[in-house]
Amino acid sequence: MGHLRKDFLWGGAVAAHQLEGGWNKGGKGVSVADVMTAGANGVPRQITDGVIPGKNYPNHDAIDFYGHYKDDVKLFADLGLKCFRTSIAWTRIFPNGDEEEPNEEGLQFYDDLFDELLKYGIEPVITLSHFEMPYHLVTEYGGWRNRKVIDFFTHFAEVVFKRYKNKVKYWMTFNEINNQANTAVPFFLFTNSGVEVKPGEDAEKIMYQAAHYEVVASALAVQIGHKINPDFQIGAMIAMVPLYPASPDPRDIFKAERAMQTRYWFADVQAGGAYPTWLTQYQQDKGWDLDITLADLDVLKAGKVDYIGFSYYMSNAVKAKDNEPASYKYEENVDIVKNPTLQASEWGWQIDPQGLRYGMNWFNDRFHLPQFIVENGFGAIDKIDADGHVHDDYRVDYLRQHIEQMKLAVEVDGIDLMGYTPWGFIDLVSAGTGQMDKRYGFIYVDKNDKGEGTLKRSKKDSFYWYENVIKTNGADL
Ligand code: P53
C-alpha cells in the first residue's frame, strides 16, 4: 500500500486576478479579467470593449489582497499551509505585454509576497498565465491567434523565472488550457487565449490555432525554465472534467471517448510531446491551413512538462442523439446530459468524488508522471449564523469525500501525487460568474456581489477542519 508523501504539499489555491484587486496600482496594465463584468448564477459575464465607466468589474478591487497580503499570509500560516498556489499577474510585469523592459514595481510586489510566504515556510506554486493576459495583446494582436504572442509570453516567463529562481520551485504554464475546447461559450476562448470570435469565423479552427501557439509557448517556457534552474518543476494545468458514456450503448461509448480526446489532447502534447494521430488527421480532414511547423513539433518534443497539475470539480456524461449512428463525433454543449446518479451544486456542477480517482488513473495510465491536484472545492452561498460564524459542513463534506478518493488513488492505485491545493480557500471573485457570493473559502471575506463589505477576514468551520487535516497529513478527515 502506498502512502502520501512525507513532504506532501497541502496548500491552497487562488489566482492573481481573482483576489489581488489593485487593478491599476503599481503600474499594472489592463488584463482580460479587467474587462469582464459581474454575471450571476446562469447569467454570463459580459466582455466589454475596454473598461466602460459605470459597469461593475468585480476583479478591479476583488478582495484587495494587494493591500492585505501580509495579514493574509499570516492567516495562511495559522492554517498550516505548506504551499500557496497563485499566479503572477502578467500585466503587473508587462502592463501591455509587448514591452522589452519589465515593470520593476510589479516584480517587487511578488518578491515581497514570496518573501512573506517563505518567512512562514510556505512554498509558492506559481501559474504563469491564469485567465489574465494583457488586454493590449487582444486589441493589438488578436490574442493567441497571433504567433508573435509566443515571444511575448516566453519573454515574460524568462524574466520571472530569472527573478524568482531562488524563491519559486513549482511552476505551471497555462491554467486550464483545455477549457477552450468548449468553443460554444465565448468566455473560455477569451479567458484562455484573449480571442474573440467574429461572426462568420470558424471558432473551432481558431481555437486549434491559438491552442497550438500556447502549447509551443509552454514547451519553450519549460526549456527556458530548466536552463535557468534545473531544479524547477514545471507542470501543465488541465481542467479534468471526466466525460462518462451515459449508457453501455456503443454509440455513447464512442462519443465519450472522442469527448475525452477532444478535451485532453492538450495533455498529450504537453506531457507526451506530440499531437495524437486522431487530431492531426481531424485537422487535415477539415482542410484547415493551420500554422503548425515542423520546427514547432520539435519544440513540443523537447519541452515536455515535469508533472500534471490539474483541477477537479465535477464530472459530466455524454449521450448520442436519437438517430445518430455510432461515430467518433463530439459536440460539447449538445452532447452533454445530466447524470441521474449524481447530485449537483447550486451552479449545476455535478458532485462526483470518485471521478477524481478516475481522472487520476486516466492521467497516470497515459503519462506516468507525478500529479498535483491544484484545484478542488465547493462553491456555495454561505450564511453567517447568529453566533457570527459560517458553519460550512457542506463544504467539509465535499472536501472530505474528495480527499478520501485522492488517498485511494495514492494508496491503492499507486499514483505519485505531489500535493493538494483546494481552490479559493480564501473567498474570492468567481471566474465563471464574477460573483463574490459563490464562495469556496475556509476564510470568509466580508464582501458581497454588489461590492459592499468591510473586507474583514474570518475563519469558517472548514478552516479548523483543514488545519487538522494538514496537521495529521490527511489521516484525520
Ligand atoms: P468558478 C469552468 C469549469 C471548471 C473550472 O470556478 C473552471 C471553470 C471556469 O469557471 O475554472 C477554474 O470561479 C479556474 C478558477 C475558477 C475555479 O475553477 O467559476 O481555474 O479560476 O475560479 C472555480 O466557480
Which of 130, 173, 176 maximizes ligand 1 atoms within 8 Å of its Cβ, making it the mutation to test the pocket?
A: 176
The residues assigned a catalytic role are 176, 375
**Residue whose grid cell is 529562481:** 165
- pLDDT higher than threshold 90 for residue 332: no
Each residue of 93-152: pLDDT tens digit? Answer: 999 999 999 999 999 999 999 999 999 999 999 999 999 999 999 999 999 999 999 999
pLDDT tens track for 366-389:
999 999 999 999 999 999 999 999
Query: Nine-digit cell at 442?
Result: 475556509
Under 8 Å between Cβ of 432 and 44 = no
Atom of ligand 1 nearest to the CA of 377: 23
| 279: exposed, middle or buried (Cβ count in 10 Å: 0-12, 13-18, 19+) | middle
What is the number of the ligand 1 atom nearest to the C-alpha of 237?
Answer: 20
Which residue ranges have their beta carbon within 6 Å of ligand 1? 15, 18, 131, 175-176, 239, 311, 313, 375, 379, 423, 430-433, 438
Tell me the residue length of the chain: 477
What is the pLDDT at residue 186? 95
CA distance 403 to 407: 6
Ligand 1 center–CA 256 separation, angstroms: 22
For ligand 1, the distance from its centroid to the CA atom of residue 258, given in whole angstroms, is 23
Task: Convert 102-165 into a string of H (helix), E (strand) and C (coil).
Answer: CCHHHHHHHHHHHHHHHHCCCEEEEEEECCCCEHHHHHHHCHHHCCHHHHHHHHHHHHHHHHCC
Other Cβ atoms less than 10 A from the Cβ of 27: the count is 15
**Ligand 1 center to residue 65 CA distance, Å?**
19
Site of grid cell 468589474: 57
ipTM: 0.97
Decide if pLDDT at 457 tops 90.
yes
Distance CA 290, CA 270 (A): 19
Query: pLDDT tens, 421-452?
Result: 999 999 999 999 999 999 999 999 999 999 99
Quote the mean pLDDT of the chain: 97
For ligand 1, mutation pick of 132, 430, 433 (most atoms within 8 Å of CB): 430
SS (H, E, C) 334-357: CCEECCCCCCECCCCCECCHHHHH
Atom number in ligand 1 closest to CA 429:
13
1 pLDDT more than 80: no
Of ligand 1's listed atoms, the one at least distance from the Cα of 131 is: 21
Whose CA is closest to atom 14 on ligand 1?
A: 431
Give all domains of the chain, ordered by start, each with its CATH number. Answer: 9-471 (3.20.20.80)
Please tell me the predicted confidence (pLDDT) of residue 427.
Answer: 98
d(CA 247, CA 400): 29
User: In b/e form, how buried is each residue of 186-206, taking b as 16+ CB within 10 angstroms?
Assistant: bbbbbbbbbbbbeeeeebbbb
42 CA distance to ligand 1 middle (Å) = 14
Q: Whose C-alpha lies nearest to ligand 1, atom 9? A: 432
Of the pLDDT bands very low, low, confident and very high (cuts 50, 70, 90), residue 289 is very high
CA 424 – ligand 1 centroid, Å: 10
**How many other CB atoms are found less than 10 A from the CB of residue 412?**
11
What percentage of the chain has pLDDT greater than the value 90?
99
Per residue in 176-232, pLDDT tens? 999 999 999 999 999 999 999 999 999 999 999 999 999 999 999 999 999 999 999
Q: How far is CA 74 from CA 12, 84, 137, 411, in A?
A: 14, 12, 36, 33
Q: Percent of the chain at pLDDT above 70? A: 100
